[in-house]
Amino acid sequence: MKQVYVVRHCKAAGQEPDASLTEAGVRQAEELADFFSGREVDVILSSPFERAFRTIAPLAGRLGVDIATDDRLTERVLSGANHADWREMLRLTYEDLDLLYEGGESSNAAMSRAACVVTEALGSGKNNIVIVSHGNLISLLLKHFDNRIGFKEWEAMSNPDVFQLTFASEDKPSIQRIWEE
């Protein structure tokens, strides 16, 4: 039995790669470390974005576990330009997984890179894995394992959020949201 805990970063000051956590986000990162006390953690993988790394740093410090950053865990880029109707554009990418806006990444491409991280982690011999990333990418990763997950589930996510994927076999996990705000 392997556990993969997928963590959405805490509240941040922006969307840029170097956006820091807000004061509330820093407190949430400590709460997240408390939340994981009593749970085994063998490895921590994180998006290299500052808000993701800082979200899990308190837990890593408490456990003495290094944080391995992986560029494949960065947030999915919807489009190379800003659009006022970005939410509707995003919603459509859950219906058409190959929909690709100029300068962006399709849902299938994002799903594939995130799923590769999980597959490699499961094959690493580690049983309790924490992966820290961003809302849209996480929702697509969860969709990879359960096609019923979509735009509404993305909208319902909080900062932070934690999903537990329990793998009894290598392919289809049970998925449970375990974070309570």
Q: What is the pLDDT of residues 73-109, one digit of tens each?
A: 999 999 999 999 999 999 999 999 999 999 999 999 9
The whole-angstrom separation of Cα 104 and Cα 152 is 21
The whole-angstrom separation of Cα 107 and Cα 95 is 9
pLDDT of the residue at 54: 98
Q: Mention every residue, 6+ apart, whose C-beta is less than 8 A from residue 50.
A: 17, 18, 19, 20, 21
pLDDT of the residue at 165: 97
User: Which residue numbers in the chain have pLDDT < 50?
Assistant: none
The predicted model scores a pTM of 0.95
CA dihedral 15, 18, 19, 21 (to 10 degrees): 130
| Residue recorded with tokens 């919807």 | 78
Q: Identify which of 89, 85, 90 has the alpha carbon closest to the alpha carbon of residue 139.
A: 90
